[in-house]
Structure 1
Amino acid sequence: MRRTPRLLTGTALAVTAAAGFAVPAHAAGTRAGSLEVYPSAAAPGGQVSVNTAACGDGEAAAGDAGAVGAGRFTLAPSTHEGEAIGQFRVPPSAQPGTYEIVAECAGDGRRIIGDLVVTLASDRQPVAPRGSVKTGVGGALGPDPEQTAAGVAALAVAAAGGTWLLHRRARGDGF
């Protein structure tokens, strides 16, 4: 029974495609391929590189990062596998979010689209930790060398006394 619906669905799709009613895989004017945005997430003020191989070998493209406020930029042909490469800077006033970056091939006007995620930037520089860590283990006497020596001496006396008591017990002298 399950075979009949699959057969009818497959036949209907084949007839639709043959009749020319198939939905195009990409919107009109968009070429297969992608616009690679690196890094895919950048902070305001950061430099972004864009490249694509969708325009063809040795073909330039016009880029548009107006959605993020960076304006237009050029993607020039490169020697790396027929790609076109360009760069732009994310404006310092850019708000966090996802923005569409577009490139239009110079030869045929095809559009390639990529996404850029703008993230929050920290104004503070990373600070290296300094000082001691308050874990509750050790350091109870403080950093004074005399107090540390006294603590070590007290531990040594306790260890010696414990060893002496265990030795007496092992001999059978009792406590």
Structure 2
Amino acid sequence: MKNESDIISLRLLDQTDVVDDFMEWSLDENVSNFFTRGTFLTKKDAKRYITKFIVTHPWFRAICLNGKPIGYICVSPDVGSDRFKGEIGYVLSSKYWGKGIATKAVKMVAATIFVEWPHLVRLEGMVNIDNIRSQRVLEKAGFTREGVLRKYYIFKRKLSDLVMFSLLSTDQLT
């Protein structure tokens, strides 16, 4: 982190965050290299996305540094698996990369999600094979690298590989 007095917190994201904060990481070219949902060119598009997808999402939080949203983190339930699995995803403005913020946010979620969702047994993280920084985030947060899912999804119009990570409710976090 920038300095020891910085406070990282998670909170609900709302329409007021669109003004500058949400647009900052949405328009960040470094982020869009790995962001699968695309970017928002206008605040109106971003507000529409927040209203339609984020407000209704079962577990979605802003990652805040000293109260300012600098990214987000979410856990999505796997609807086809009797709900015992969930997938973690996160985005952080690139000017905050390499400071331990994403790792701390993932650890915060990992420490509470199995309590908040007692039916959850497995939390998965799937990362583009070229996104080495995000792979390190999950490793440092205590996730286990399980392997590569070859040609698993289409990203920017080409078949891409993903690295699968997992954290089980029975895993001991450090």
Is TM-score (shorter-chain normalized) higher than 0.5?
Answer: no
Structure showing greater radius of gyration is 1
Q: In proportion to residue count, which structure has more helix?
A: 2
TM-score (norm 2): 0.24
